[in-house]
Amino acid sequence: MPPQITVLDAGGQYCHLIARKIRELGVYAEVAASETPAAALSGSKGVIISGGPSSVYDPGSPTIDPALLSSGTPVLGICYGEQLMAHLLRGSVQKGDRGEYGAAQLDLTGSGTAFDHLFRGISGRQQVWMSHRDLVAQPPEGFDILATTPTCPVAAMGSATDRLYGVQFHPEVAHTPCGKTILANFVFDICGSIKDWDPAGQVLAIEEHIRRTAAARNVFFFVSGGVDSTVAYTLCLRALGPDRVHGTYVDTGMMREGETEFVRRHFEALGARAFFVEDARNLFLSALSGITEPEAKRHVIGEKFVEVQQRILESEHYLDQHWILGQGTIYPDTIESGGSAKADLIKTHHNRVAGIQKLIDEGRILEPLSSFYKDEVRAIGRELGLAPELLDRHPFPGPGLAIRCLCTDDAMNPQRVDEGWILPVRSVGVQGDSRTYRPVLAIESVPDSDDQVAELTNRRPDVNRIVAIAHTCQPIGNLKVMPAHLTAERLDRLRRVDAIVRGMSHHSGFDQTVWQFPVVLLPLGTPQLPDSVVLRPIDSVDGMTARAVRLPPDLLSRLVHELMEVEGIAGVFCDLTNKPPATIEWE
Ligand code: XMP
């Protein structure tokens, strides 16, 4: 089905989010490479240029076919997309050093046709989400300035005659409440799109696609217990019947407490007749022993996954021509592994490492959900009648607890600074679109507002996160970061604290109010109590941006009480940082 709206990928982590938001409006949208020729876009009713980490002044930065801007097709440039549009049309783009990340106040200062089109139904001061370094200082000739913020003179611009529009902020994220209206104005009023998209109505078409792709072959899955692989597996069961669909769950030892039994129970309930559990706990643990670098851990896990998968494929003869490999890959997975042309390394997914890529290249892969977004997969799952406790599960990363158990070879003390204490651990953050590993600032009193936390993260670019000290067994200056690795003992400790947090947040109903709730183990403590716990409840729409959620005080104090009882735990912290600048996970 041809897309009505094409989103040109200028390397932004938000690129798929834009397409998903358009689909949420009931309009089919797809992502394409930024340099796609204008002629190939002539079938689209409108084009959006996404944000991205580059500066238009960087050599080799993403660009578009300039002919697009005079083709008469409506174009909306978002963030880098706006800067690129201004740059190509001889407006002026000003280079920035530190940039602006987080909430900003938008003043609708414009008037005229372009303003009326893009901001129809919106009035007054609006909160918007910013994530940029450079900015448009002067719009191109013929463009009106539609809106400003205290730091952006051209927060929105437009030319109704040329049907070209640009916004410096991100209308696609939940933290821009008026963003949905802006996108709807562009898609329906400016581009004239009509509603044509409903994922739940696609089940029969997907099943048909599975039968066609599989042809006479059977399908073999590595299932994770997550929503995506379970829905993909269920679709295959329905399309091909239980005898033609096998599933193996690899127990890496990096799973949460009770996970293997949960998965086994649900797959049996789905009617799976050939479901197997592969116990690979020792293999993963020994491969990870002594590794402390976060990206190295991810790499090892990816490699071991492929090794285990390869071994099973070979020993069970799944690689002969009677079988193909089914996967629960969803649409955004491709960009998050750097799969799109210009994306920085956002994360290293295990399902796109070299070994699997080879299978993909050989056409031995069936990915029935590869054009759907997470919420669309859930809608399909509901249509299939899957249990809510499966569909409503919080996302859990493929590398599992390994990336929630921080490791180090060094011994270091927290360092006193004006704002609190710098904890010398490496935690990942995403500024612009690049990943960085930096220490963490621990503060004693929790700021009243998120704005104060954002102000603190902007003021201290040397840290990636701000955590509040909920409780420590001794004054924090007496605690130390000590050499620590991924050992069975630490993983068991993390499993224990994670299970306590999950149990209590489920019973209190808190888990229904958050999108994900990672629990992280830090090697910060004393020789007797070597680790601390970080609680990271967040709210998000799809993990691409996130808001840190504050725990209700009574739940937090009960959690602290229980967690401090666990063997080896010296302290409890709460992560207060939004994404950006911090990622959801700590590695
Ligand atoms: P970050 O930490 O990048 O995470 O803000 C965004 C979302 O992705 C999940 N995540 C992963 N999922 N394999 C996965 O399947 C991975 O390697 C991985 N890393 C992060 C994370 O839990 C969050 O939901």
Q: What is the CATH number of the domain that holds 459?
A: 3.30.300.10
Atom of ligand 1 nearest to the CA of 586: 2
- The angle at the Cα of 402, spanning 397 to 408, to the nearest 5 degrees, equals 135
pLDDT bin (cut points 50, 70, 90) of residue 431 is low
Residue 209 lies in a domain: yes
Probe target for ligand 1 pocket from 344, 584, 586, 587, with the most ligand atoms within 8 Å of CB: 584
Q: Is the distance from CB of 287 to CB of 183 less than 8 angstroms?
A: no
Q: What is the CATH number of the domain that holds 160?
A: 3.40.50.880
Per-residue pLDDT tens digits for 9-24: 998 667 888 999 999 9
Residue 270, pLDDT above cutoff 60? yes
Per-residue pLDDT tens digits for 494-524: 999 999 999 999 999 999 999 999 999 999 9
pLDDT bin (cut points 50, 70, 90) of residue 354 is low
Ligand 1 within 6 A of CB of 583? yes
Question: For the chain, what is the mean pLDDT?
Answer: 92
CB atoms within 10 A of CB 396: 18
Helix (H, G, I), strand (E, B) or coil at 480: strand
Same domain, 370 and 419: no
Residue 351, pLDDT above cutoff 80? no
Residue 68, pLDDT above cutoff 50? yes
Dist. CA 576 → ligand 1 center (Å): 18
Ligand 1 within 6 A of CB of 349? yes
Better-scored residue on pLDDT, 8 or 174: 8
Same domain, 337 and 421: no
What's the rounded Cα separation, in Å, for the pair 484 and 410? Answer: 8
Ligand 1 within 6 A of CB of 581? no
* pLDDT for res 581: 87
* pLDDT for res 342: 37
* Percentage of the chain exceeding pLDDT 70: 95
Instruction: Compute the average pLDDT of residues 321-341.
Output: 71
Closest CA to 420 of 477, 498, 351, 335: 477
Which residues are the active-site residues?
79, 170, 172
**Domain's final residue, options 190, 216, 242:** 190
* pLDDT for res 338: 35
Ligand 1 within 6 A of CB of 543? yes
Probe target for ligand 1 pocket from 297, 304, 344, 585, with the most ligand atoms within 8 Å of CB: 585
* pLDDT for res 356: 63
* pLDDT for res 335: 53
Better-scored residue on pLDDT, 365 or 211: 211
Q: What is the CATH number of the domain that holds 396?
A: 3.40.50.620
Same domain, 463 and 387: no
Same domain, 157 and 228: no
Same domain, 73 and 153: yes
Instruction: Compute the average pLDDT of residues 222-231.
Output: 93
**Domain's final residue, options 372, 400, 428:** 400
* pLDDT for res 361: 81
What's the rounded Cα separation, in Å, for the pair 169 and 79? Answer: 6
Enclosing domain of residue 102: 5-190
Total of domains in the chain: 3
Q: Is the distance from CB of 75 to CB of 84 less than 8 angstroms?
A: no
**Domain's final residue, options 354, 378, 400:** 400
Instruction: Compute the average pLDDT of residues 87-107.
Output: 90
Nearest CA to ligand 1 atom 20: 397
Q: What is the pTM of this model?
A: 0.79
* Percentage of the chain exceeding pLDDT 90: 78
Same domain, 475 and 521: yes
Q: Is the distance from CB of 392 to CB of 351 less than 8 angstroms?
A: no
Residue 443, pLDDT above cutoff 90? yes
* pLDDT for res 451: 83
Same domain, 410 and 305: no
pLDDT bin (cut points 50, 70, 90) of residue 389 is confident
Per-residue pLDDT tens digits for 114-170: 999 999 999 999 999 998 889 999 999 999 999 999 999 999 999 999 999 999 999
Residue 582 lies in a domain: no
Ligand 1 within 6 A of CB of 399? yes
Residue 337, pLDDT above cutoff 50? no
Burial 160-195 (b: 16+ CB within 10 A, else e): bebbbbbbbbbbbbbbbebbebbbbbbbbebbebee
